[in-house]
Amino acid sequence: MTQSVQHPTQKPTLDWVAVFFFGAVHLLALGLAPFFFSWSAIAVCLFLHWLFGSIGICLGYHRLLSHRSLKVPKWLEYTLAFIGALALQGGPIFWVAGHRLHHAHTEDEVKDPYSAKRGFWWSHMLWIFYPDKQFFDADQYSRYAQDLAKQPFYRWLNRNFLLLQIPLAIALYLLGGWSWVVYGMLVRAVLLWHSTWFINSVTHVWGYRSHPSDDNSRNLWWAAILTYGEGWHNNHHAYPNVAKAGWRWWEVDVTWWAIWLLQRLGLATKVILPPAVVTE
Rounded Cα distance, 37 and 21, in Å: 23
Categorize the per-residue pLDDT at 11 as very low, low, confident or very high, splitting at 50, 70 and 90: confident
Mean pLDDT confidence for 153-162 = 97
The amino acid at residue 192 is: L
Rounded Cα distance, 140 and 134, in Å: 5
What does the pLDDT look like over 211-257, one tens digit per residue? 888 899 999 999 999 999 999 999 999 999 999 999 999 999 999 99
Q: Which of 138, 44, 144 is nearest to 103 (CA)?
A: 144
**DSSP state letters, 230-242:** TTBHHHHHHSTT-
Q: Which of 54, 44, 45 is nearest to 80 (CA)?
A: 54
pTM of the model: 0.93
What does the pLDDT look like over 238-249, one tens digit per residue? 999 999 999 999
Strand partners, 219: 208, 232
Give residue 10's pLDDT.
61
Phi, psi for residue 208 in degrees, rounded to 5: -110, 160
